[in-house]
Amino acid sequence: MNNEIWVFVQLNGQNVEPTSLQLITKARDIAGDRPVVALVAETESMNVEATVKEYGPDKMVILKDDQFHNASDGEIADALDQVVTDLKPNSLLFPATVLGRSVAPRLQAKLKTGLTADCLDIYFDGDDLVQVKPTYGDDIMCEIICPDVRPQMATIRPNTFKAVKAATDTETVNYSFTFHPEANIEVVSETPVINSAANISDAKTVIALGRGANNEKVIAKAEKLAGKLGGMVGVSRPLTDNEGFSHENQIGQSGNTIAPDLLINFGISGAVQYAVGIENAKQIVSINTDAKAPIFDKSDYAFVGDADEFMSALLDQVR
């Protein structure tokens, strides 16, 4: 047993999944004198070490095998089991992505240890990794520890922490292991998806337009922006009278309740009837010419100014 904190680095195609980098930063923040180790499983031709290194892990443990391309959860868990059983980290963190939440419990079962899902915070209390996770929605939090078994495992919700680059001398270990193919399962293909929803209640990104953005030019740009962001256009009550919008697009008490990851409000004042429909949005950005508009109290980001100008700037800068 050592005192290392390991972070599983998830790859999406050729890229590093951002949560993994966020976890390296978080691990460094709570580590004290514990070394932070990035655990990478990649194909021979891939080389994400340079990217991972920028975030300052003390060590990288690299597993290389071409069969990691389209590997099954069971195959990944088997490979990780070999290195974890051998090198015995103190703690092991996964992104709470679909992949992380699928591989980590299989590994947990092999290691017969604890695993806490979807944590919003972690910290050390002595040698115990205290894992803070929501339960029953996000209204109640639990602190969970795994006092007697190591490694202490957790999956951590994406975008909970910020990734910060850090310069460190990173040691690289190429770990040799045996890839054991799983006989009864085959990943046939992977197809990228653009997040699109048919219904505004399910949309991940919503561009919302209100009385202050009620002109054809802005509406046309909003549609374009929604297309670029893979989102949908919603409206407050006054715009439901416009041709092209209806009750289906309406946000608010007498319309739809939405819960997107990102909501951008253009020209919406933020009356109570509207505000109740957006309470569950994760990030809210609001643009209004009136600095005293109530919508700003409900927003994470506020821009006092012209809707059209801001929209144009967004269209320019969003790739």
Partner 1 sequence: MKIVVCIKQVPNTDTVKIDPKTNNLVRSNVEGIINSFDRNAIEAALELRQQAGGTITLLSMGPDSYITSLRDGLAMGADSAILLSSRKFGGADTLATAYVLSEAIKKIGDVDLILFGRQSVDADTGQVGPIVAEDLQLPQVTFAESLELQDNNQLTGHRLLDNVVQEVKVKLPAVITVRSEMNSPRYETPLNIQKSFEKEITIWSENELAVDPTQIGQAGSPTVVKRIFSPEKAGRQTQMLPNNAKDAVAQLLADLNN
Partner 2 sequence: MTNDKTAEQNMLHRMIVDFTTNELAPLDMKIDQLGDYPDGLFQKVIDNGLLGMTLPRQYGGAGFDYVATAQAINAMAFGNASMAVTLEGHFKTLEQLLKYGQPELLEKYLPTATKRIFAFSQTESSGGSNPKGISTRAVKQGDNWVITGDKIMITNGGLAQVYCVLAKTEDDQMAVFLVDQDMPGFSFGKREDFIGLRGTPVGEIVMDHIKVPGYHLLGSIGQGLEIGNNAHDDARVLMGAVLAGIMQHELKIAVDYAKQRKALDTPLYELQTIQEKITDIAIAKQNTELLYQHGAELKVAGEPYSKVAAMAKSYGSRSAVSSGDKALQVLAGYGYSREYPIEHLIRDARAMEIAEGTVEKMNTEISLKEVNK
Could you say which of partner 1, partner 2, none residue 17 binds, taking C-beta under 5 to 8 angstroms by partner kind? Answer: partner 1
Least Å distance, CB 119 to partner 2, is: 32
The HSE-up count of residue 179 (CA atoms within 13 Å, CB side) is 17
The HSE-up count of residue 117 (CA atoms within 13 Å, CB side) is 12
Q: Which of 237, 251, 295, 298 binds partner 2 (CB under 8 A)?
A: 237
User: Nearest to residue 26, comparing CAs of 96, 84, 88?
Assistant: 96
- Contact mark string toward partner 2, 252..291, x via CB under 8 A: -xx-----------------xx-xx---------------
Q: Which stretch binds partner 1 (CB under 8 A): 31-39, 191-199, 213-221, 269-277?
A: 191-199
198 makes contact with partner 2 (CB under 8 A): no
Cβ-based nearer residue to partner 2, 90 or 250: 250
For residue 256, the 8-state DSSP code is B
Distances (CA, A) of 162 to 27, 29, 31, 165: 11, 11, 16, 10
Could you say which of partner 1, partner 2, none residue 1 binds, taking C-beta under 5 to 8 angstroms by partner kind? Answer: none
Residue 260 φ then ψ, to 5°: -80, 165
Q: Which of 31, 65, 134, 223 binds partner 1 (CB under 8 A)?
A: 134
For residue 251, the 8-state DSSP code is B
201 makes contact with partner 1 (CB under 8 A): no
- Virtual CA dihedral for 154, 171, 18, 151, nearest 10 degrees? -10
Could you say which of partner 1, partner 2, none residue 300 binds, taking C-beta under 5 to 8 angstroms by partner kind? Answer: partner 1
Residue 317 annotated as binding site: no
